[in-house]
Structure 1
Amino acid sequence: MKTINKWMSASLVAALLLTGCTNEQPPAPSAQSATSPSSQPADAPQQPGASPAAATQAAIPAAVDKPLKIALVSEFSIGTFSAQYLQGVKEQVSKFGGELVVYNADGDLGKMAAHLDTAINQKVDGILINHGRAEALQPGVERAVKAGIPVVAFDNDLDQVEGVTVIDQDDYSLAWQGLKNLAQSIDGKGNIVYIWVGGFAPMEKRNRVYEIFLKRYPNIKEIARFGSATPNTALDTQAQMDAILKKFPNKGDIAAVWAPWDEFAKGATRAIKAAGRTEIKVFGIDLSDEDLQLIQEPNSPWKASAATDPADIGRVQSRFLYQKIAGEHTPKYFSLDPHLVSQDKLPDQPVNMSDLTQYVSGWGRSDAAISPWMAALEAKHK
């Protein structure tokens, strides 16, 4: 596009440094550094995975060679992304012969902290944390670590607790991929609607990139902002977006919608289609089978979403936890690589998440947090 300069990622990194944000993650370690078992010598070559032959010969550590009780403490379970993430956790824990106990706080941080205390008091073998904030969870997490219960957290700010591994989807890259695509699609100018809610670690990170984006593209103007996280987020967003469309009724009033959560994108897409305003383009973050159906509908305004496989997130998080239980070193931070899934790159026939490896370069199962003994453990419980 004529108005888009070719520098992108470098300017983003520089701008992030200049913003002076605190509590930022250092660069994520490579998949290789996340997979080395403690049983290897320090100078042994690191490998992201193990061949089937090597895996079957690897001794299963005694700490994981028994049925383990794993707790998953979630802030919420809204939408299909959360459902597919949970499925990934269940799948991996089951393959390792473990028992998964799920605690859902329904968006209540106080309830989430109480669930964490319950899991600790029940002396579970390991704890997975899904979202939440350190202000509510840090005392409980510190108590778990002190009690010798390993903890791996996803999408939160618990990085101040020593011994906890925090994984995420690399929210800065997710946001920049989607926003860059939005800017290119509207030639770097036009009015946009921003659907966002604060109070969640990944949302706060994505918003930092959005603020830089507005400075990078001064001809793109935000004309409306709304958003809330509720048990019916997609429906509530649809109603709110419908009100925005009535406030800006003319073609050209709105060029695009930035929705950095797929529940927001679903609601906006449905409102735009119902109003016959499909000239408005929607760009989002996160992806599920339901989202893919909406993106592939005829005349769908949802043009692209930056995402990682939610089920794969659950599998990787679970593997890190088992590595911790086995006494292996795990990184303090780990970010899964996101991908941009564009409507124009998908085939005419409907596809689901498992099909995306054929159409999105790099999409697929992560080989992070794989130790040589894991295949043997899975085979034992097959």
Structure 2
Amino acid sequence: MKITRRLLGKAALGLAGAALLMQVPAMAQDKPAPFDKPGAVKIALVRYLSTGDFFQAYLSGVEAQAKALGVDLRVLDSRQDAALQADMVDQAIALGVQGIVIQHGLTESMKEAAQRAVDAGIKVVAFDVNVENPKIPQIEQSDRDLARLALEQAIKDNGESWKAGYVYVAGIAPLDRRNETWVEFKKKYSGIKEAAMFGTLDNPIANSVANQARSVLSANPDIKVMFAPYDEFAKGVKIAVDEAGLSQDIKIYSADISTSDIAAMREPDSA
């Protein structure tokens, strides 16, 4: 089962993910079993990505929902280590949890791990990772629409012909969906030329992307647009653009938003 919706707020995103797992209103006065026994239910949040404002807000939402329900929340953070994330699912199973939220990850590493949890009788929800299991609800944003809206604005601002730098890491479900839209736009607008594609999820993500972007800008001085459809990517690109003194020559388009993102966008002559 796949549930698709638009991103309305980062905290709400974490709240929704946990709420779908629990399948009960957080503020219900008369909670059905097993939620009528505070602390008796254990839920594990198994994370692949955790760097940046989005993931901090997501975690805050999950923690708030767990507190409202009175459940015992265990947070397991693999920090972009796919093998460790799979091991953490097994750790959650060994802990005797009743539910697992798998947050991001790679299909190839999480598919079998998620199945082991299902086989153990545990309720599992997958957020922004395709575990290819019809028994596991998959929660996702409208990532193709997010990319489409950003690129439509880029066309409006810059016309239909420009050279672009593109930040992308394959295998992450939301980035893959946004990439589909990027590919479609390049086909639709033949004047858009991808001068360079780069990207990394090495921590800290923004600084690691900035290191790559410096080299890309040096090798491709005619780039006019940077499409970085994840705000940590965009932060990294902005660091490099600002250092190169190109903030008035290059425009950056991204997806996701936070208070710090808005502050960066409002800086004088911000790209």
Could you tell me the TM-score, scaled by structure 2's length?
A: 0.86
Query: Hey, what's the Cα distance between the residues in 2 that align with 1:114 and 1:288?
Result: 31
Matched, 1:71 2:41: no
CA drift of 1:26 comes to: 6.8
- 1:5-41: CA deviation from partner (whole Å, max 9, x where unpaired): xxxxxxxxxxxxxxxxxxxx978489xxx98x999xx
Correspondence for 2:270 among 300, 303, 318: 300
Query: Do the aligned residues in 1 keep the contact of 2:100 with 2:122 (CA within 8 Å)?
Result: yes
Identity %: 36
**Per the alignment, in what secondary structure is the counterpart of residue 61 of structure 1?**
coil
Query: Do the aligned residues in 2 keep the contact of 1:84 with 1:288 (CA within 8 Å)?
Result: no
**Per the alignment, in what secondary structure is the counterpart of residue 135 of structure 1?**
helix
**Per the alignment, in what secondary structure is the counterpart of residue 75 of structure 2?**
strand
In structure 2, relative to structure 1, the CA distance for the partners of 1:123 and 1:170 (3 Å cut) is same
Partner of 2:261: 291
Query: Hey, what's the Cα distance between the residues in 1 that align with 2:4 and 2:44?
Result: 25
Query: Hey, what's the Cα distance between the residues in 2 that align with 1:38 and 1:245?
Result: 48
Query: Hey, what's the Cα distance between the residues in 1 that align with 2:258 and 2:220?
Result: 30
Query: Hey, what's the Cα distance between the residues in 2 that align with 1:109 and 1:93?
Result: 25
**Counterpart AA for 1:120:** I
Matched, 1:86 2:59: yes
**Per the alignment, in what secondary structure is the counterpart of residue 191 of structure 1?**
strand
Q: Which has the larger radius of gyration?
A: 1
Partner of 1:14: none
- 1:174-203: CA deviation from partner (whole Å, max 9, x where unpaired): 111111111111112211111111121222
Matched, 1:179 2:151: yes
- 1:142-196: CA deviation from partner (whole Å, max 9, x where unpaired): 22223221111110112x3232111011211111111111111111221111111
CA drift of 1:92 comes to: 1.1
Query: Hey, what's the Cα distance between the residues in 2 that align with 1:88 and 1:292?
Result: 21
Matched, 1:230 2:202: yes
**Counterpart AA for 1:166:** Q
CA drift of 1:248 comes to: 3.5
Query: Hey, what's the Cα distance between the residues in 1 that align with 2:268 and 2:44?
Result: 42
Partner of 1:343: none
Query: Do the aligned residues in 1 keep the contact of 2:195 with 2:220 (CA within 8 Å)?
Result: no
- 1:251-287: CA deviation from partner (whole Å, max 9, x where unpaired): xx22210001111100111211222212211001122
Q: Displaced runs of 4+ in structure 1, greater than 6 A?
A: none
Query: Do the aligned residues in 2 keep the contact of 1:151 with 1:164 (CA within 8 Å)?
Result: yes
Query: Do the aligned residues in 1 keep the contact of 2:143 with 2:178 (CA within 8 Å)?
Result: yes
CA drift of 1:289 comes to: 2.4
Greater relative contact order (CA < 8 Å, ≥ 6 in sequence): 1
CA drift of 1:76 comes to: 2.6
Correspondence for 1:153 among 116, 126, 133: 126
Query: Hey, what's the Cα distance between the residues in 1 that align with 2:74 and 2:23?
Result: 28
- Deviates most, 162-171 or 257-266: 162-171
Partner of 1:112: 85
Partner of 1:268: 237
Query: Hey, what's the Cα distance between the residues in 2 that align with 1:163 and 1:63?
Result: 21
CA drift of 1:239 comes to: 2.0
Query: Hey, what's the Cα distance between the residues in 2 that align with 1:226 and 1:29?
Result: 28
> 1:315-330 alignment to 2 at 5 Å?
none
Query: Do the aligned residues in 2 keep the contact of 1:258 with 1:282 (CA within 8 Å)?
Result: yes
**Counterpart AA for 1:123:** G
Correspondence for 2:177 among 202, 205, 215: 205
Normalized per residue, which structure has more helix? Answer: 2
Gaps of 5+ in 1: 1-24, 40-48, 302-382
**Per the alignment, in what secondary structure is the counterpart of residue 63 of structure 2?**
helix
Matched, 1:216 2:185: no
CA drift of 1:69 comes to: 1.4
Query: Do the aligned residues in 2 keep the contact of 1:175 with 1:210 (CA within 8 Å)?
Result: yes
